[in-house]
Structure 1
């Protein structure tokens, strides 16, 4: 019999892939003996029927594994082509904290695999090796360096790919120009990718998650970005992206997470962002935005995370917000310009009432400078007590001598 498999995908910061097999009828058959030996070779306990803990099909007379997860492997764990051949019925293969060198995967296994996950595990990965898994729908690699001339060589032949994560994998080169239209999840974060965001990316009408954060991308956000109408999570933070936020992004109704922080974006912040009813996370910090913050207090309070500091030419209308709200940007004057802090003063008369502490909080070393000037002022207020005492003593002695002489003459 052929099993019916349901795939459930949870698109959080990490993508966890779990396959559930629903048997069409009950079966008391045990696991295939060759697969039992393969599991024993991998130091996986076979005391009990593995099908009670793992996912198996309902074939007769022996059942076969359809999913295998290797976690926290020891030095005794070794992959071999013979073992992988015995486990060729697997469609879901997961490695977690298993630092195992890759070996040749038999063709039958690379054909059958629909989901491959490696987190801090497989060593000496190459783009050519990964490209052999033509039928993958889910590929998740995180923390494992991949030697490849570009992402395109890895994914170009994966015609069924729906979810791809290649994070913290030391990838270089440019973003692909061609994308599988079935993609719903893309995470290329924490790599060394360069170049611009291709406009072809905006053809992915089903894309829900896009994460290009912590790379070396530049250029502008494409004007057609609003065509990603299914997008829920967008992160382009920690790159060198320039230009304004495109107005077409107002066409994305379900955006929940928007992270554009630590770039070189400029222009005014568009008002349509406050009309995104699903938005919960907004990060626009450390850019070059200018003008007046277009949000009101009710919108900001509806957010779970809001970051706007680090935009030196941006200000907010203090009359619109409560005094207890701190943005990290200055208030606006009547002309809509940032109110700059008062300049440091060097007039001695202004130091008479200073305590030397409040100015120091304003930066620029004002406190230390004022303390030095106060000392200088004290130096010019007259002779010190020691000098005054010596002068009085000498005057008294001279007076006594003159008095003695006059008394003697008399």
Structure 2
């Protein structure tokens, strides 16, 4: 029996269709949810490659089937035409991490399900302006980063006390006003409120954060003294209180923080002597004490200073160093001590007349040095001689006329 060619063709076509369907079905298990793919395109996210591929830098997906869901989205350098919509955000409610970097789009209220699922939110130079009410809708976030975005709030307290799940918080260069909170959640490990307009004193409650590793309150308008209880921050590795108006001395309890790596107290009004215990901090790599009112003899030796990656102590006019301990080649920016432990006055600057001399040399020969009596003496002598000669002449003339 001769096989019918048409039957063969139909069978071959059916086989190709089945293989294609199976391949498409297998492929669909690795695809992103079609609705989320559409939402990404509406936000201007490139989707030419598989958004769930490890090589895709803007997205991370879970392993759900039959479709994957987005769990992380990073929007970078958004175009002017990008707008956030409620429809797109509702579709992306599986997101746990959302980042806006250089995206000056207009913010909108996140859908409640979307906000409650987020545990990490980053906004850097994006969304134009935020409010504390807008931020605290994300009530379950663990990591909050807002930088170079104005934040309208009566102070950081309303944000930090409303989001009880926070572990790390950065609200920097946000024109944030007010005072520091008097209550803090104990799970905080990272606090950065630098570059704002915060005022008032450092609350002692801040030093109860026993898990705090990083504290940056620099470039604000904080005043008062450093609490003696700072030594309770035993986990602290990085502390910057620079560029404020803090006064008083460095508390001795700071010696208890054995793991401190970065200590920046520069550009304040701190006074008293520089404590010697700082040189016993084995892990210290960055130390900035410049532009304060410290006095006395710097208690550090050369070996301690050389192990530091950064050391700044200049512009403390009453602070000096022992020349027998430290070499002037270190360029510390402070004066050498005299025998009484006081800063030596710097020698007066030498006048540099080289420019005037060079100008004279271009137009005239070098001046001749004259020796002997001055011109005034010669002038007086000549005048007296002339008077004597005149008197003698008149006497002789009178005798001749008689």
Residue in structure 1 matched with residue 294 of structure 2 by the alignment? 289
> Of 162, 171, 194, which residue of structure 1 is paired with 2:176?
171
Q: CA deviation at 1:37?
A: 1.0
Unaligned runs of 5+ in 1: 1-25, 345-353, 359-380
Count of aligned pairs: 344
CA contact under 8 A between 1:84 and 1:105: conserved in structure 2?
yes
Residue in structure 2 matched with residue 114 of structure 1 by the alignment? 119
SS of the aligned residue for 1:218 comes to strand
Query: Is 2:237 aligned against 1:232?
Result: yes
- CA distance, structure 2, for counterparts of residue 307 and residue 161 of structure 1: 34
Q: CA deviation at 1:112?
A: 0.3
Residue in structure 2 matched with residue 31 of structure 1 by the alignment? 32
Alignment of 1:266-281 (within 5 A): 266-281=271-286
Largest Rg, 1 or 2: 2
- CA distance, structure 1, for counterparts of residue 168 and residue 66 of structure 2: 35
- CA distance, structure 2, for counterparts of residue 356 and residue 102 of structure 1: 62
Residue in structure 1 matched with residue 110 of structure 2 by the alignment? 105
Residue in structure 1 matched with residue 268 of structure 2 by the alignment? 263
CA contact under 8 A between 2:263 and 2:287: conserved in structure 1?
yes
Residue in structure 2 matched with residue 349 of structure 1 by the alignment? none
Q: CA deviation at 1:33?
A: 1.4
Q: Residue by residue, what CA displacement relative to the aligned partner does 1:277-305 show, whole Å, maximum 9, x if unpaired?
A: 01011100111111111101110111111
CA contact under 8 A between 1:27 and 1:58: conserved in structure 2?
no
- CA distance, structure 2, for counterparts of residue 322 and residue 27 of structure 1: 71
- CA distance, structure 2, for counterparts of residue 197 and residue 156 of structure 1: 17
Alignment of 1:14-163 (within 5 A): 28-52=29-53, 53=56, 54-163=59-168
Alignment of 1:150-229 (within 5 A): 150-229=155-234
SS of the aligned residue for 1:320 comes to coil
Residue in structure 2 matched with residue 371 of structure 1 by the alignment? none
Would the alpha carbon gap of residues 219 and 323 (structure 1) be closer, same or farther in structure 2, given more than 3 Å must change?
Answer: closer
Deviates more, 1:148-157 or 1:269-278: 148-157
Q: CA deviation at 1:123?
A: 1.6
- CA distance, structure 2, for counterparts of residue 340 and residue 355 of structure 1: 15
Q: CA deviation at 1:27?
A: 8.6
SS of the aligned residue for 2:144 comes to strand
Residue in structure 1 matched with residue 366 of structure 2 by the alignment? none
SS of the aligned residue for 1:219 comes to strand
Return the TM-score normalized by structure 1: 0.78
Q: CA deviation at 1:357?
A: 2.8
- CA distance, structure 2, for counterparts of residue 147 and residue 224 of structure 1: 31
Q: CA deviation at 1:331?
A: 1.3
CA contact under 8 A between 2:293 and 2:318: conserved in structure 1?
yes
> Of 352, 364, 367, which residue of structure 2 is paired with 1:357?
352
- CA distance, structure 1, for counterparts of residue 192 and residue 350 of structure 2: 54
Q: Residue by residue, what CA displacement relative to the aligned partner does 1:304-330 show, whole Å, maximum 9, x if unpaired?
A: 111111111111111112242221111
- CA distance, structure 2, for counterparts of residue 57 and residue 184 of structure 1: 28
Q: CA deviation at 1:219?
A: 0.4
Residue in structure 2 matched with residue 5 of structure 1 by the alignment? none
Q: CA deviation at 1:383?
A: 5.5
- CA distance, structure 2, for counterparts of residue 41 and residue 66 of structure 1: 18
Q: Residue by residue, what CA displacement relative to the aligned partner does 1:319-355 show, whole Å, maximum 9, x if unpaired?
A: 112242221111112221122235x6xxxxxxxxx97
- CA distance, structure 2, for counterparts of residue 49 and residue 175 of structure 1: 46
Superposition RMSD in Å: 2.8
SS of the aligned residue for 1:55 comes to strand
- CA distance, structure 2, for counterparts of residue 62 and residue 171 of structure 1: 42
Would the alpha carbon gap of residues 156 and 27 (structure 1) be closer, same or farther in structure 2, given more than 3 Å must change?
Answer: farther
SS of the aligned residue for 1:241 comes to strand
SS of the aligned residue for 2:87 comes to helix
